[in-house]
With several copies, the nearest count.
Chain A
Amino acid sequence: MFGNPFSTALPLAPFPLMLREAACWRGETEVFAGLDMMIEGGALWLIRGDNGAGKTTLLRLLAGMLRAAGGVVSWGDGQSPRKTPERALFIGHADALKPALTVGENLGFWAGFSGFAESPWPQASDPFGVWAYADVPLRALSAGQRRRVALTRLAFSAAPLWLLDEPVTALDAAGQRTVWELAAAHRRRGGAVVATTHAPMNLPDAQEMTLGGLR
């Protein structure tokens, strides 16, 4: 349906996504409050902060997986992310892959589920070179290979907003480069990327935000 992500324009995306005075709780603790942020189309945000500062929580808020305890979170057209979760693609530590299925079956499922392609396996979109293990069950992969499979979903997503929680974890140098290249291509199409990372990084024109200044 959307073909190769590197070539096709995104469907019109209602950027910016805005946070105003946003607050978030986990369990019975306040993680952050009074957060302002404006995510434009084409932007790359790097979220930084100590362990437990609330980076993952922020991404989940943007994905519509958490409810804001205060303030406003809304897209440019006034919609709340909670009502429009399909606008964001979240890739976190839990990678939504089944150890008992092969790489091909896992990716084929997610491709089919998101209505991506006729064929069950998105061979055309294989930025991380996991096609070679298509028939290997996921449980027999190394940590980085598994991460590559999870990230391959980036190549067949139609979501304008990518939320990447420590995406380069466990990847070798080539894999890390591929992630940032995919992100750049996505931005050129008008999409936005919000990523957390602990690595010192100099990506040109990335906007940075550091959480947990209180600590």
Chain B
Amino acid sequence: MTAFLAVVRRDLLLAYRDGAGTWTVLGFFVIAVAVFPLGLGPEPQLLARVAAGVVWAMALLAALLSLDTLFDADWRDGSLELLLSGELAPEALVLAKALAHWLASGLPLIVVAPLAGVLLHLPGNAAPTLAVSLLLGTPALSLLGALGAALALGARRGAALLAVMVLPLAVPVLIFGAGAVESAMLGLAAGPGLLILGGIALMALAVCPFAAAAALRQAVE
């Protein structure tokens, strides 16, 4: 447990101190949301219509963005080998890193998403659903991303590979997340969509750490 917490703490510290962490994700997200109206034109109706999709798509891209350093930096500087040869089980290591990734990039997104909603004229009644859908969906993104990052570790063109691998896995999250917000916007029940999101997150929690741990063991050979 100490080792688990030590890893989480260190990764949060690095995310805060370093370029590729919290600040980049937030910067990217805010900027992406600001860039859209500039590209699409200012009509509030159009913006409101696409708001849910844009926020979710940008959340996905922001999460992807911060993934390629998830194991890569540790692998390059020799940390990963040491992390894997400690008492901590590789599965727990993956979990610790995914948790830190979510705390450093998913959580801030959830906090600023309502603001993004306002800028894109998302109707006020959909804002809580947006936050809840992100709360359920982003952990799944972090877990799936950890799996992808472990698989792409040390590969040539790892970053591109990562994107190509994680995207298909993450698409259901995106569809149900954006769908739930859209239902709320139209006054329909968002519950079913959110339930499915929760289900996906639980499934990712059950599968990803084991698969990613296996991939990591291969990578440090």
> Do A and B touch directly, given a CB cutoff of 8 Å in the complex?
yes
A-to-B contact residues, CB < 8 Å: 63-67, 85-86, 88, 90, 92-98, 100-101, 105, 109-110, 112-115
B83-107 interface bits toward A, Cβ cutoff 8 Å, 1 = contact, 0 = none:
1111110000000000000000000
Closest to A116 in B: B2
B82 within 8 A of A: yes
Q: Which of B7, B14, B82, B88 contacts A98 (CB 8 A)?
A: B14
A85 lies within 8 A of B221 (CB): no
User: Per DSSP, are chain B's interface residues mostly helix, strand or loop, or mixed?
Assistant: helix
B-to-A contact residues, CB < 8 Å: 2-3, 5-7, 9-10, 13-14, 17-18, 73, 76-79, 81-88, 156, 220-221
B86 lies within 8 A of A86 (CB): yes
- Given A101-B10, A114-B3, A115-B2, 17 other A-B residues pairs in contact with their CB atoms under 8 A: A63-B81, A64-B85, A65-B220, A85-B85, A86-B86, A90-B85, A92-B78, A96-B78, A98-B14, A98-B73, A100-B17, A101-B17, A105-B13, A109-B9, A110-B82, A113-B6, A115-B87
Closest to A153 in B: B82
What number of A-B contacts does a CB cutoff of 8 Å give? 68
B7 lies within 8 A of A113 (CB): yes
Please indicate the chain B residues that have their CB under 8 angstroms from the CB of A65 in the complex.
81, 85, 220-221
State how many angstroms separate the Cβ of B97 from the closest Cβ of chain A. 13
A112 lies within 8 A of B14 (CB): no
> What are 18 pairs between A and B in contact, CB < 8 Å?
A65-B81, A65-B221, A66-B221, A67-B221, A88-B85, A90-B81, A92-B78, A94-B77, A94-B78, A95-B77, A100-B14, A100-B17, A101-B10, A109-B9, A112-B5, A113-B2, A113-B83, A115-B3
Please indicate the chain B residues that have their CB under 8 angstroms from the CB of A63 in the complex.
81, 85
In whole angstroms, how far apart are the Cα atoms of A100 and B77 in the complex? 13
Please indicate the chain B residues that have their CB under 8 angstroms from the CB of A114 in the complex.
3, 86-87
Closest to B79 in A: A96
